[in-house]
Amino acid sequence: MEMINIDDAKEGMIIIREILNDQGDTLLKEGTALTKDLIRKLKSLGISGVCVENPEKNNSSDAMPSEVSTELQQIEYRFSNVRSEAIMEELMAAVKEYITEKDRSDGIH
């Protein structure tokens, strides 16, 4: 796990440790994909660093084509308010699988 400076945070990076404010309230849950708006908000709230998944990977080319990985992160963002529901987790998994499988079959044809 690595803490990075908020100035190095990029859209699509996944938070792996929840971010709390001074009062101890949760601002962002772990698993959230950062968006430009979220990064801006965190900065405005004085948050200086965030723990993200594979910070180097997000900076360089990944094993997975970047278009798909961006799409998967956007899916996580769209579902970020409803992930406590089992059905919604199932639905999100279906969307992710569909996108990934489609990308693979596009690559074959």
Partner 1 sequence: MAYIDLENRLAKIADLPTLSIVARNIIQITQNPKSSALEVGRGISQDPALVSKILRIANSTFYGFPGKISTIPHAVVILGFVNIRNLVLAASISKIFSSKGENGHFDREGFWKHSLACGVTSKLIAKRSGMKNLEEVFIWGLLHDVGKLVLDAYFNEDFTRVVHLAREKEVLLRDAEQELLGFGHAEVGGIVADKWNLPPAMIKVIRFHHNPTEANESMRMAAIVHLADVLCRAIGVGDGVDSKVPCVDKESWRLFRLNKQTIKRLFSEMEREIANAKALLAFVK
Interaction site with partner 1 (CB under 8 A): 37, 71, 74-75, 77-82, 85, 87-88, 90-95, 97-98, 101-102
Cβ closer to partner 1: 69 or 74? 74
- The nearest distance, CB 60 to partner 1, in angstroms, is 26
- The nearest distance, CB 14 to partner 1, in angstroms, is 17
From its phi and psi, is residue 53 left (phi > 0), alpha (psi between -120 and 50) or beta? Answer: beta
| Amino acid in position 33 | A
CA 26 to chain centre: 16
- The nearest distance, CB 105 to partner 1, in angstroms, is 10
Cβ closer to partner 1: 16 or 75? 75
Cβ closer to partner 1: 3 or 41? 41
- The nearest distance, CB 87 to partner 1, in angstroms, is 6
Residue 12: which residues within 8 A CB-CB, separation 6 or more?
Answer: 33, 34, 58, 69, 70, 73
Q: What stretches of 1-109 adopt beta strand conformation (E)? A: 2-5, 19-20, 26-28, 49-52
